[in-house]
Structure 1
Amino acid sequence: MTHLEERLAERGLKLLKKEAINGSHAGRIYRIEAVDEENQKANLVYKEYETDRNNELHLYLKYSDLIKQFNKVVTVWDSRPKAILMHDLNSPLKKDFELRSGSDKRNLIERILDRLAVLHSLSVGKNANGLPTHETTSDWHEWCVDQMNRLCEQNHWTKTEWIKTINNAYEQLDLKNFQQQCPRVITHGDPHLENIFLKDGQIWLIDWEWAALSSPLRDITILCQDLYDTRLIQFVKESYQKVLHNNDFHIPSEEYQRDFNYFYIDHTTMMLAWEIEKYLQEYTSEEKIKEIIEFKIREINRVTNELGVS
């Protein structure tokens, strides 16, 4: 009997089917079908962690009372192989997001913001010893420039101005030394639309590996990375401050705006590097990567200019 079968048996479940979910995950993930002692079927996801990639498990063990309302985890195993079992939430929101109407997109974004605001407001002032503290560094800047240089070596259509735009933003804003203005809260750390699901009328978050103490704007600007419409990004920026206010989490406007803008540039740079990596690994077409780069470079330039730096 395998580890999975033994663990399911502990919960009165018998494995019927198992299918690997492929992708760049922090471990091995399987979609499974099981049946209980009353012959009721359950669709679940089982995730085994890599030895050095189990920060998510630590969060579930230590802060389960706080985050259990945001995920559908059934149980966790702290013995090797460390793993979690969760309900299958079907498809992430990213799968059909671009097919939705403008009003539907805004409604969905508002629901996501409502959930993130609850997480952030509940964790204000919480004792979260053991969670890492997120700090802005030069890491994403350096990785993105390296990725851009790799791209230049392989493609004639790349533009040297792209690197200049990124360098200008980091140098002029001294972004690697940025000190967040907002209170530190527990942040999910990776709430892009691949990690957000709508199930049973509720928004759920998976993959808490990068959870850390940081500004709530850390999460919001990562969410924006799946949005390729400046109007929607502005909608997120304006809406979230109102949502926080409705949750009695009051942040002065100047501090809110500054955190949003600085985190947004840093995370846009991070996502640029990641999107280039997907292109280099042939997961993204040439036409698509051109669109992505052009949009994100325009966004970095736009926000830098808004901050008064040319």
Structure 2
Amino acid sequence: MSAPLLRITTEDILPASADCVVIGAGIVGVSAAYWLARAGKSVVLLEKGVIGGEQSSRNWGWCRQQNRDARELPLSTKSLALWEEMTADLGEDLGFRRCGLLYLSNSETEIEGWADWGRFARGEGVDTRMLDGKEATERGVATGQSWRGGVWSPSDGIADPSRAAPLIAKGVLKHGSRVVQNCAARGLELSAGAVSGVITERGVIATTQVVMAGGAWASSFLRQLGVEFPQAAVRSSILSVKPGAEGLPPALHTASVSVTRRGDGGHTLAISGRGHLDPTPGALFGAKHFLPMFAKRWRALRPGGLQAWNAGFESRSRWSMDRQ
């Protein structure tokens, strides 16, 4: 079953040229195109299916600083301010709320790890607060059980996965650039070794700047250019709950489930600790990068199947033809 998704209408006319072409209209692609357009650049945002139709409408929707790697924390903090700025500029409800983020646990090791992170993060200006057993149980009353402890980050928040990418794409249009759906990018044209155009299934767009934001498809696209871009494909189960469920918090994470309230009043439930790691050529090529990261989370990952490979994520021939 498809994830909840706001559909927007865009023109089918392919511009002859642009300052920049952004390939892929998930949350990364629409955001890149939006800020470029807002800066006065002529942008074409290309999407082989529909805006936000893949991973960007199938995620928890968290906009968080909590438990971020130290190297990405400054970007995470900045991103929260940018979410607020985009919301004000667009005049649309992206579902962004600083509702706070709650982690609960009965593992002393996990709680100690959160405390260590908190001591570092508070030095970086992040509002993160440890909870004792009584406080954690009170805040986690929706779970119906007691907890040894937790961590509460009141300045973190959520955005609505069903609305964010499509509405930011409308912001690209607002600032004078173009969005083209159901049009796959198939390759790049080069002149004297430099990018001179993007080849699409409807024609060529002349440009000297390209942003690749194709998500799981990026590796396949880049391989034809001789660029190895290893990716790891991890699948986990997410359930969409319709509006009307009572007692569920805005954003909650435990060892068994993660909860996010969507802007439509429904909830997204993710089964924690159930990720399946699919073996792909790209993942094997990048094993030296991925394995140290996965070693820290081995309990949350299980051996997967060939779904990612069969879907064409690692194929030279299918990446431009599959549609959402």
- Tell me if both proteins adopt one fold, taking TM over 0.5 as the criterion: no
TM-score normalised by structure 1 residue count: 0.28
Task: Name the structure where helix makes up a greater proportion of residues.
Answer: 1
Is the strand fraction higher in 1 or 2?
A: 2
